[in-house]
Amino acid sequence: MKQMKLAYIDNKPYEIKEGETILTFLKRHMGEKPVPTLCDAPNLDPFGSCRVCSVDVALEKAGKTKAMASCHSPIGEGQYIFPNTPNIQKLRKNIVELVISDHPLLCLTCEVSGNCELQDVAATVGLRDVRYPEGANHLDTPKDLSHPYMTSDLSKCINCFRCIRACDEVQGQFVLSMAGRGFDTHIIKGLDQSFMDSDCVSCGACVQACPTSAISDVFQSKSVTATNTTRTICTYCGVGCNLDVATNNGEILSITAPFDAEVNEGHTCLKGRYAFKFYNHPDRLDSPMIKRNGNFEKVSWNEAYDFIASKLTSFKDEFGPDSIAGISSARCTNEENYLMQKFIRTVIGTNNIDGCARVCHSPTALGMQTTFGTGAATNSIDDLKDTNCILVIGANPTDAHPVTGAKLKQFAMKEGHVTIVIDPRRTEMAKYATYHLALRPGTNVAVLNMMFYYIISEGLSDITFIKNRTEGFEEFKKEILDIDIDKLEKVSGVDRNLVREAAIAYATAPNAMSFHGLGVTEHSQGTFTVIQIADLALITGNIGRRGVGVNPLRGQNNVQGSADMGVQPHQGAGYLDITNDEVNKKYNEFYGVDVPKVIGYKIPEMFDAALDGKLKALWVIGEDIVQTDPNTKKVIKALESVELVVVQELFMTETAKYADVILPGASFLEKNGTFTNGERRVQAVRQVVAPIEGAKADGQIIVDIMNKMGYSQADYTPDGMLEEISQIVPFFAGISWDRLGKNGLQWPVLKDGTDTQILHLTEFKRGKGFFEFHNWEETQELQSHSKEYPYILTTNRELEHYNCGAMTRRTANEQILSYDYLLINPEDAKENLINEGDYICIESPRGKVDVILYRYSRLR
């Protein structure tokens, strides 16, 4: 039997664990606060600068002791630790006294009084007075109030380096550093700039790390004025960060990030932490409205419901159920999306239900379903800790998925890690990449086929995995070996040797993970590219264990969940095929009405049907389709052609302006439910404040209409809805509100509550993984228009704003980035005689827009 290794605390033996420090050893056996600490923080590497955590250590029983900083000293077998000897207590008191001798004694008026780690430690060590006479100090250091969120008052800085380490180790931004020597040592931002002028990305990691109020924020997130803290989930992107929201008297004061959140481990980006003030913005819609004679009139909920119900009933009777369609919202909860598709299918009687995934990740679902049988991320972001190589294709995660982006960046910066970026832009990830394949937009398929060519021809395929777990490889291999490398190198613009090196690096890495985004899926060959990314995992055996897999970076906070819940015209709740007889029987029995078996309209088909006069009513929840769907002019025309447009929204968006009825919904802070993040993690969204007066939870609005139209549906409660969903969505079988706990559950969840971190461990949902070859084709857009329109224009997400900006543009994020702009290759700019800062007009076959040329960028 393996011998237990022991060390001693005050002469009592305790087991030690491999790799732990004296501090973690003490915490494990004595509780969370065995000794006072200052420079130590839960999400930072041990540092050992303040020495407050010092303990006496002897190497043998009754041996000579030595004071050692416990936070960064490894525990050793047979050591004798004395955490609180008189000697050590005196040492700590002296250290803290020296720190306080250069710290303003203004506790009573300090924003963090009552929640200041320095104050706590001073009390713990018993410091009452400072014996030193007043001498040189830093008390007149000027404050930095330049930034809309972040503030600094470095007169309160204790030089613990926690902010610098948070900036380096958590965000990887390296904005904060220590300047000067000796007594002049002080924190600087960038090149000794203000927060606003530096490269700070406003994530607030330094604010949360600072043990005093030396670095803080305008919301005073470390003050103790809150009476309640509610844990919920960020509404912005598919990372799904957990947030602790502090409130007092029903007002939101500030947001911090819980350290025990598995998704974000005490981190957020500036949207999650700071962009919450939209929730009670004066622009919020606060009453249902009906448009009469071109003007919106406020009406009661009942009047709005009666109006909608009678119109929908008459369209259904006169033109049939297929004359009605719904667009549900990836911003809303799973339960609300489930209700919306249920309403459209059971009450209206059509499968005309779709969501924003149509213009983002629906190719991911289809592509991965084709290859694996399941269209969702195979692994978890935490697997980055066990991978050796990452492939990031068509994604700019440090802007679009910032907390995951920071983790990917941290991975890329570490020595020995391989990072492959396939992207036309020199993104932040590309700067740290081992290989950057800067391809011409629209040639993902070409570059990936070249990678397959080199993997196969260099003999790097995982033959055992292919033999045991896949099908279709021989045909695939034949096609790949036939590709025209000369042509693909030319069309993609990427040197074949670079592609070969990247392919070899991916194929020979012990574990390789891939991450893809909209630069893959928003192309005409998007589904094929997803199939290739999945095939890349198959051919190299990178599937079914930790540290590998295919991991789409999902865009909106609940775009995964909305598809899971059946917001698709061809698959109902749980991705069940609505055309299948068995499935149809199951739905009919469960819902108590006959649901249709004919595939409904996708969003673009809804617009076509509207223009053809076939679609009479469209209900849109939480999507500004006028701004976010392609071909704005066509979308507007379609909305104008529909007889009844119902828009359920927070604000008077561009789409809402075309509504006949507006219903004011509730923000994520005002309701309960669940969101599912990009790693299939179903997490509890907990109501923080009541909906603003006049607004209602979107789920309740749908329930009210269902009841009004004769379908008996219980009121919207998250536990009740999850109970219903768990009975019809197979992979939600074991999910209940009570089981979600702090960190949620990753589906599929078995009846007993066991969840799943890694998919496809021993077999795929479809049985064997399927290889499918696709040749590169020039996009139709270029084939039709490249002569008159020689440039390729593509969209880009900005860190500061989200989607169409309906929420973030109503927060102080607007002060950080207040305009839209164009990035352009400097050579193209020069050729067109345009300079940075110029206003220029961009024209496409579909319209034109004036935009500022903000800066040149390394684009192909």
In angstroms, what is the minimal distance from the CB of 354 to ligand SF4? 24
What is the DSSP secondary structure assignment for residue 20, as one 8-state letter? -
Q: Is 398 or 492 the residue whose CB approaches ligand SF4 more closely?
A: 398
Tell me how far apart the 2 most distant CA atoms of the chain are, in Å: 94
Toward ligand SF4, which CB reaches closer, 712 or 795?
795
CB nearer ligand SF4, residue 540 or residue 683: 683
Cβ neighbours of residue 508 under 8 Å, at least 6 residues apart?
Answer: 460
CA distances from 856 to 31, 114, 153, 521 (A): 54, 48, 35, 25
* Closest to ligand SF4 by CB, 187 or 261: 261
The answer to whether the beta carbons of residues 701 and 714 sit under 8 Å apart is no
Q: Do you know the residue count of the chain?
A: 860
Q: Which is nearer to ligand SF4, 402 or 691 (CB)?
A: 402
Q: How far apart are CB 806 and ligand SF4 at their closest, in Å?
A: 15
Q: Cis (ω within 30 of 0) for the bond into 748?
A: yes
Q: Which is nearer to ligand SF4, 38 or 237 (CB)?
A: 237
DSSP 266-328: T---HHHHHTTGGGG-TTS--S-EEEETTEEEE--HHHHHHHHHHHHHHHHHHH-GGGEEEE-
Cβ at position 832, least distance to ligand SF4 in Å: 35
- DSSP assignment of 229-269: EEEEE-SSBTT--EEEEEEETTEEEEEE--TT-TTTTT---
Q: Residue with structure tokens 């088909």?
A: 605
Q: At what angle do helices 86-100 and 117-124 cross, to 10 degrees?
A: 140
Helix (H, G, I), strand (E, B) or coil at 458: coil
Residue 92 or 401: which CB sits closer to ligand SF4? 401
CB closer to ligand SF4, 116 vs 263: 263
| Euclidean distance between CA atoms 115 and 120, whole angstroms | 8
Query: What is the smallest separation between the CB atom of 226 and ligand SF4, expressed in angstroms?
Result: 19
Which residues fall within 8 angstroms of residue 377, CB to CB, at 6 or more apart? 549, 550, 551, 552, 554, 678, 679, 680, 759
Q: Least distance to ligand SF4 from the beta carbon of 404, Å?
A: 7
Residue 445: phi and psi, rounded to 5, are -60, -40
470 vs 556, beta carbon nearer ligand SF4: 556
Shortest distance, CB of residue 240 to ligand SF4, whole angstroms?
6
C-beta of 679: minimal distance to ligand SF4 in Å? 12
In whole angstroms, how close is the CB of 799 to ligand SF4 at the nearest point? 9
Query: Tokens 């992979």 sit at which residue?
Result: 731
* Residue ranges in 548-629 assigned as alpha helix (H): 559-564, 581-591, 603-611, 625-628
Using an 8 Å Cβ cutoff, are 246 and 228 in contact? Answer: yes
Burial of 860 from C-beta contacts in 10 A (0-12 / 13-18 / 19+):
middle
* Smaller CB separation from ligand SF4, 264 or 449: 264
Q: How far is the CB of 561 from ligand SF4 (least distance, A)?
A: 14
> Looking at beta carbons only, is 268 or 562 nearer to ligand SF4?
268
The string over 827-841, giving b where at least 16 C-beta atoms fall within 10 Å of a residue's C-beta and e elsewhere, is eebeeeebeeeeeee
Phi, psi torsion values for 712, nearest 5 degrees: -80, 110
Task: Please identify which residue in the block is written with the tokens 């391809």.
Answer: 439
791-795's contacts with Cβ under 8 Å and 24+ in sequence apart are 791/828, 792/440, 792/441, 792/442, 793/842, 793/844, 794/424, 794/441, 794/519, 795/518, 795/522
Nearest approach, Cβ of residue 446 and ligand SF4 (Å): 32
Q: How far apart are CA 480 and CA 494, in angstroms?
A: 18
Smallest distance from the beta carbon of 808 to ligand SF4, in angstroms? 10
Nearer to ligand SF4 (CB atom), residue 91 or residue 799 = 799
- CB neighbours of 830 closer than 8 A, spacing ≥ 6? none
Least Å from the CB of residue 40 to ligand SF4: 25
Question: Which of 810, 800, 798, 797 has the alpha carbon at shortest distance from 202?
Answer: 800
The one-letter code for the residue type at 690 is A
Give the whole-angstrom CA distance, residue 633 versus residue 639: 10
- Judged by beta carbon, residue 240 or residue 805, the one nearer ligand SF4 is 240
- State the nearest-atom distance from the C-beta of 234 to ligand SF4, in Å: 3
Q: Report the residue number, 395 or 480, with the smaller CB distance to ligand SF4.
A: 395
Nearer to ligand SF4, 246 or 595 (CB): 246
Which position's Cβ is nearest ligand SF4? 272
**Strand duo 353-354 + 324-327: pairing:** parallel
What gap in Å lies between CA 650 and CA 222, rounded to an integer?
30
Output the smallest distance, CB 273 to ligand SF4, in A.
7
Minimal distance in Å, beta carbon 653 to ligand SF4? Answer: 20
- Nearer to ligand SF4 (CB atom), residue 148 or residue 240: 240
Q: Which token pair is 664?
A: 């004011």
Structure tokens at 522: 């928003």
Nearer to ligand SF4, 360 or 538 (CB): 360
The CB-of-813 to ligand SF4 minimum distance in angstroms stands at: 11
d(CA 278, CA 814): 11
d(CA 43, CA 747): 27
Sheet holding 847-856: strands in order across?
A: 821-824, 847-856, 839-844
Q: Nearest approach, Cβ of 677 to ligand SF4 (angstroms)?
A: 8
Burial of 248 (0-12, 13-18, 19+ CB in 10 A): exposed
Chain positions contacting ligand SF4, by CB under 6 A: 234, 236-237, 239-241, 264, 268-269, 271-272, 401-403
Judged by beta carbon, residue 658 or residue 675, the one nearer ligand SF4 is 675
